Amino acid sequence: MSASRARRLASGIGRPLHLGYPSNRYVLVATVLAGAGTVVWRWATGADDVFSWSVRIAGAVFLAWAIGREIDPDDTGSAGIATVIVVPLTVLGSPSLASAAALLIGARIAVRTTGISPHLIDGVVLTAAAAYLGARPESWPALGTLILAVATDRYAQPPGPDRTLWFSAAMVIAAVATALWLADPPEWTRPTIAEWIVLGIAAVVGFLAIINIRPVQSRADYHDRTLSDSRLRFGRVLVLFTLVVGAVYLGGPVVPTLTPVWAAIAAVTVMHYYRLWQERRTGSG
C-alpha cells in the first residue's frame, strides 16, 4: 500500500502502540502492576470496589503516560514520570477515565502527532463520544476542550481541512442533546485544602510548560515532517484551559477527575528543568 493511500485510511485520533519502543513496553508493565497492586492493597485493607478501582488506577497510569507522550513528544521521560505522579494523586478521589481520554484525544488533535486531521470515521467516533460525555456533567470541561481542539484544527498552523468544523458542530449538537435530556448539572463545590494545593501547582507547572517549549524534533506518525512548535504549545494551552474551566465550573472535583492530566503536565515541567540542569552541568564540566 502506498504511503498516500495509508494516510487516507489512517485515523487522525488513534495511534498504534508499537512494542518495539522501550517506553511502550514500560507503560504496559506499569499499567498491569498498577492494577494488580490496587487489587492487593484494597483486598488487604478490606476496601470495597476492588476490581473497579484497579481498573481506574491502571487506566489513570496509562492515560497519564499517553497524555505525557502527546504534550512532550520529544522526551519519553515525561510520560514515565507522569505514571509515578498520578498514583498518589488518586488518593484525592476517583479519576474519570472518560474525561482524561477526552483530553488525550484533544491534545492529540491539537498537536497533530498522527500527522493528519480526523477523517470521516473519526468524526463519527468523536460525535458519539460527545453524546456520551454530554450526559456526564463531571466530564463537561474535558468535553469542551475536546470540541475546541476539533474546531480550531482548521485554523492552527499548519491548518486542517474544513471537515473538522463540521465535526465540531456535530459534536456540539450531540453533546447539548444528551445534556438536556439526561444530565443534571452539579453545583460548584469548594475545593479542600489538598485540592487547592493541587490546583495551584497544576496552574504553575502548566504555565511553565507553555512558555518552556523547545523546537520539536519528533516526526508525526504518518508523514516525515517534524511536529509544529505552535501546535505543541496550543496542546499545552488546552490543558491549562481545562484547569481554569474545570475549577470555575466544578470546583474541587476537577482535581480527582483529571489526575492523569495534572500528572502529565507536571511531569513535562519537571523533565524540562531536569534536562536544563543536565545541560548546565555538562556545560560547566
Q: From first to last of its 285 residues, what are the pLDDT tens digits of the chain? A: 444 444 455 688 999 898 999 999 999 999 999 999 999 999 999 888 899 999 999 999 999 999 999 999 999 999 999 999 999 999 999 999 999 999 999 999 999 999 999 999 999 999 999 999 999 999 999 999 999 999 999 999 889 999 999 999 999 999 999 999 999 988 999 999 999 999 999 999 999 999 999 899 999 988 888 999 999 999 999 999 999 999 999 999 999 999 999 999 999 999 999 999 998 888 765
For residue 225, what pLDDT is reported?
87
Tell me if 249 sits within 8 A of 33, measured CB to CB.
Answer: no
For residue 281, what pLDDT is reported?
85
Which helix (H) or strand (E) segment is 158 a member of? none
For residue 37, what pLDDT is reported?
96
For residue 9, what pLDDT is reported?
53
For residue 285, what pLDDT is reported?
57
For residue 4, what pLDDT is reported?
47
Cα distances from 212 to residues 79, 205, 265, 277, in angstroms, run 17, 10, 12, 14
What are the residues whose beta carbons fall under 8 Å from the beta carbon of 155, sequence distance 6 or more? none
Cα distances from 122 to residues 92, 125, 139, 203, 265, in angstroms, run 34, 5, 20, 31, 26
Q: How many domains does the chain have?
A: 1
The x, y and z cell numbers of residue 106, run together, are 484533544
Residue span of the structural domain in which 59 resides: 3-284
| Calpha distance 285→280 (Å, rounded) | 8
Q: What is the pTM of this model?
A: 0.94
